[in-house]
Every structure is written in structure tokens, then in C-alpha cells.
Amino acid sequence: MKATVSERGCQHRLRRSAGATLVEVIIAIVLTAIVLVSLASAVSLSTSKSADLLWQVKAVELGESYLEEILGKRFDENSPVGGIPACHSSATACGAVGPDGESRAAYDDVDDYHGLDESPPQDSDGVARSLYTGYRVQVQVSYVSAATVTALGLSATDDAKLIEVTVTPPGGSAMTFAAYKGNY
């Protein structure tokens, strides 16, 4: 039995639509590879950024901890506990900025922390903070500038001290936290 012309055309069409050509398969492979490479790089980038976020959160916690500790101390070596009467150029003179020979555990005023540089960071008793291995903390304390006196409405530069705590996480960029301690 011979196939008619219409049956042969049907068979020919079925054979052509039964599979993909080599060009179509290669294009599909290339597109799949591009999508997979893009997906892998996005996952890699987000993974590396998640570690940075953890370091930054821990750096903020550490910076706040140091500022709380420092701000809890009295203004100056010559200031009594409670701050009254305040040291001032016209009465009891304020001391120089810097430690007064005490150890870290005996710091009793704000400027004792000036120049503190710890890696690993320590608590107020001088014990290393085990959760912050690889972090570095630096502290600078200074009397406010003349411009700050004007901006804050103070009467003299020894009316306040600027405290700057710089925390550097491992593999990250330094973050600086600042606060003023008033002479009252």
C-alpha cells in the first residue's frame, strides 16, 4: 500500500517537530550557564556581605559598651564625685588629658581613657572580651574646640570633653563613635 501525498506531508511534519536541532540545544545550554553563573555570583556576594553585617553589629555593640563605661566616669581627676563644684580655669583647675598613672581597672575619670588602644578589647576590669577576637578599640579624649564651645553655647573649652571611640572589626573598616561629657 502506497502512502498518498497528504499522508507523506503529515509524516514529514511529524518528523521535523519531534526533536530539537543542535543549534537549539547549544543555545539552551549557553543560556542555562549564564543563569547559573549569575545566580552563583549573587549567592557568593550575599554570603560575604552577611559576615560584614555581623562584624558591623558587633562593632556597634562594642563601641556603645566603651562609651557607656567612659561616660559613667567623672569629668576630671580634679572633679569630685557628683561633679560639684566643677573644675574650671577660675576655680579648681582641670587636669591634663591622659591617664594619671592608674591601671585600666582603676580608671576613674573620662580622660584616663585617652590613648587607650586595645586588641583584643577588654572589659573595665582588664579581662579580654572573648567574643571580640580580632577587633581593635582606640580611644581619644580631648577638650572641645572653640568652634564647639560656640555651637554648644558653652562658656569655655574646659566645659566639655569630646570622647571618640574607634572600633575596627576584623577585615572591616573602622567605625568611630563620639560623645561629649559635660563639666558639671
Q: How many CA atoms lie within 13 A of 9 on its CB side?
A: 3
Is the full-model pTM beyond 0.95?
A: no
Q: pLDDT tens digits for 35-69?
A: 999 888 887 776 665 567 788 889 999 999 999 99
Tell me the pLDDT of the chain averaged across its residues. Answer: 83
Region 75-85: mean pLDDT is 76
Q: pLDDT tens digits for 150-183?
A: 888 888 888 889 999 999 998 778 999 999 998 8
Tell me what percent of the residues of the chain surpass a pLDDT of 70.
83
The 8-class DSSP code of residue 80 comes to: P
The 8-class DSSP code of residue 143 comes to: E
Cα 121 versus chain centre, distance: 15
Q: Which of 9-18, 106-115, 145-154 has the lowest mean pLDDT?
A: 9-18
